[in-house]
Amino acid sequence: MAGQLEGKVAAVTGAASGIGLASTEAMLAAGARVVLVDRDEQALATLRARLGEAAIPLALDLLDPAACAGLLPRILGAAGRLDILHANAGTYVGGDLVDADSAAIDRMLNLNVNVVMKNVHDVLPHMIAQRSGDIIVTSSLAAHYPTPWEPVYASSKWAINCFVQTTRRQVFKHGIRVGAISPGPVVTALLADWPAEKLEEARASGSLLEPAEVAEVVMFMLTRPRGMTIRDVVMMPTNFDL
């Protein structure tokens, strides 16, 4: 895929690890400059040293309303333009609803839903003005299947899936493509909240995805001819249903 994104500028939220990092690495390999948005400043510095000058670190706490509102100006200040937004940052709350912590629910809904909506809202005027852009949101298989052990998380992804599809229908006339990736369980830090026995079972059965596999789908979406939008991709390990 070398050169397929040459001259493009992308921004990836939650870029310091997991799917965000894999997406960043794939876009860099395709020739893009990528703004890595994450609150972990030290991790970003380490990644800049490893990934090179095309990787532009942007330390930002998206849960801080003022910082979140400054996302686009800071991207433009660092890179001059924005062609691709991968709204990937998110968190996880699983288990029985009765056991969930209310503050954790608030934080998750803010990051998984409100922040995504605000980030997309804020970049749209720039993309509308340039008559092109790609927006990809990391959703989840949970947006399509009412997983019984994650009612809060699944609800956040159902909400954002609706947001992605309705926004897509509003902005395609401006040359902007909007789509979602909906992976099943991926080997990331989010799985730390899974019940230990469920995680061990998933590992043993081969029913987990790797971040790089998700990034390959992101690149597939981004490199389609402009007349084609990949609306949403549901991807899961072949052994998921075992």
Which one is catalytic: 92, 153, 158, 163? 153
Can you tell me whether residue 55 is helix, strand or coil?
strand
Q: Do residues 10 and 85 lie in contact, with contact meaning Cβ atoms separated by under 8 Å? A: yes
Closest of 24, 26, 35, 31 to residue 8, by C-alpha: 31
Q: How far apart are CA 205 and CA 199, in angstroms?
A: 10
Contact 137, 164 (CB under 8 A): yes
Phi then psi for residue 97, to 5 deg, are: -55, -40
Count of other CB atoms within 10 angstroms of residue 129: 10
> Look-up: residue for tokens 């949970």?
142
CA distance 94 to 84: 30
Catalytic-residue membership of 92: no
What does the alpha-carbon distance between residue 70 and residue 11 come to, in Å, rounded to a whole number? 13
The identity of residue 89, as a single letter, is A
Q: How many CB atoms lie within 10 A of CB 239?
A: 12
Q: Give the chain's radius of gyration (CA, Å).
A: 17
List the catalytic residues. Answer: 153
